[in-house]
């Protein structure tokens, strides 16, 4: 005799977990689409109703059609919904070029804690962090002009056994600078880039204006930090039409560069005025507990700015 399990909708168990001003559940969905044999996954947060996965004639069109479906629901219900592209290197399904061409997509996963998603690429494929720079360069020099932000997620599937080859809870997350704990204000803040992504590093404060990018890191005893300010100068960019996003590309103008590197808890980058964008990555000397990949160090990614 089979066992039937009824899954409860969010409204039936929300009150058991939520605490006003402290803990909030936001309804979401992993939109699980495909183009031929390539998985195309997106997450939508603050949905009202299910999004049925959309098809298309290419990977790019599948992404666009599903983003369009989320944006249409957002328009209909009159509240913000955040949609982001998941783990682009999973099965080497997505390229920087694919994502760069998608309209109204402001977010993608620069880091995902599932052991099968290939964040770091390989000898033939770029990492998701390199992909981030290629998308930014493409969009900001020869495209829509729309910025894209990097999200970190744990993609948790396994909750009882903790080891590197399992997809465990808490490997990465986002920290949002929102005035109040509501879905609307969290999403609005993220759409302005007022958040950072982390695998363990805590950022005490960050400030971006037309003059500088300032970061203060929450220190941990015995731990050191290096902050890389990464971007691209206008004087060192080639035609982004020539970029090959799926495979490694040695063309200097296609990829981001470390513009400055600072150590310490308080760091600052002063804009020169010739940058296309600047983002920041903080790398800790602390090895990550239960990492996605052996030998990882706790890190944080701060969002790109074009305010100079």
Cα 131 to Cα 243: distance, rounded to the nearest angstrom: 11
Cα 101 to Cα 9: distance, rounded to the nearest angstrom: 35
Cα 63 to Cα 98: distance, rounded to the nearest angstrom: 8
The SS3 call for residue 268 is: strand
Q: Where are the alpha helices (DSSP H) in 81-122?
A: 96-100
pTM: 0.92
Nearest Cα to Cα of residue 281 among 267, 300, 307: 300
For residues 58-96, one letter each, b for 16 or more C-beta atoms within 10 angstroms of the residue's C-beta and e for the rest, the string is ebbbbbbbbbebbbebbeeeeebbbbbbbbbbbeebbbb
Helix (H) or strand (E) holding 61: helix 59-77
Domain boundaries along the sequence of the chain: 25-305
The count of other CB atoms within 10 Å of the CB of residue 259 is 18
Collect all residues with Cβ–Cβ distance below 8 Å to 294 and sequence separation of at least 6.
164
Cα 37 to Cα 240: distance, rounded to the nearest angstrom: 28
Collect all residues with Cβ–Cβ distance below 8 Å to 131 and sequence separation of at least 6.
88, 89, 95, 96, 99, 108, 110, 245
User: Is 286 in contact with 220 (CB distance < 8 Å)?
Assistant: yes
The count of other CB atoms within 10 Å of the CB of residue 27 is 16
Helix (H) or strand (E) holding 109: strand 107-112
Q: What is the pLDDT along the chain (308 residues), one digit of tens a residue?
A: 677 777 888 889 899 999 999 999 999 999 999 999 999 999 999 999 999 999 999 999 999 999 999 999 999 999 999 999 999 999 999 999 999 999 999 999 999 999 999 999 999 999 999 999 999 999 999 888 999 999 999 999 999 999 999 999 999 999 999 999 999 999 999 999 999 999 999 999 999 999 999 999 999 999 999 999 999 999 776 554 545 445 555 445 679 999 999 999 999 999 999 999 999 999 999 999 999 999 999 999 999 999 77
């Amino acid at each position: 005799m089979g066992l039937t399990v009824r899954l409860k909708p969010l409204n039936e168990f929300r009150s058991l977990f939520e605490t006003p001003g402290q803990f909030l559940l936001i309804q979401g969905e992993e939109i699980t689409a495909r183009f031929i044999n390539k998985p195309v996954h997106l997450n939508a947060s603050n949905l009202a109703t299910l999004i049925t996965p959309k098809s298309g004639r290419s990977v790019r069109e599948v992404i666009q059609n599903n983003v369009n479906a989320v944006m249409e629901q957002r328009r209909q219900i009159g509240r913000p919904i955040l949609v982001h592209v998941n783990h682009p290197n999973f099965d080497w399904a997505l390229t920087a070029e694919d994502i760069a061409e998608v309209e109204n997509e402001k977010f993608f996963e620069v880091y995902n804690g599932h052991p099968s998603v290939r964040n770091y690429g390989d000898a033939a494929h770029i990492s998701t962090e390199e992909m981030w720079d290629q998308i930014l360069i493409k969009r900001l020099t020869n495209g829509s002009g729309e910025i894209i932000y990097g999200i970190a997620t744990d993609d948790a599937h396994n909750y009882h056994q903790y080891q590197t080859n399992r997809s465990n809870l808490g490997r990465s997350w986002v920290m949002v600078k929102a005035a109040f704990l509501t879905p609307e204000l969290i999403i609005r803040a993220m759409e302005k880039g007022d958040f950072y992504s982390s695998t363990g590093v805590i950022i005490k404060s960050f400030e971006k204006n037309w003059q500088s990018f300032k970061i203060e890191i929450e220190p941990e005893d015995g731990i050191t930090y290096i902050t890389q300010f990464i971007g691209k100068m206008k004087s060192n960019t080639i035609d982004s039409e020539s970029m090959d996003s799926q495979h490694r590309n040695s063309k200097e103008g296609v990829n981001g560069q470390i513009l400055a590197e600072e150590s310490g808890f308080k760091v600052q980058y002063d804009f020169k005025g010739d940058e296309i964008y600047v983002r920041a990555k903080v790398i800790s000397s602390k090895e990550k507990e239960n990492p996605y990949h052996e030998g990882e160090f706790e890190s944080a990614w701060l969002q790109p700015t074009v305010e100079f």
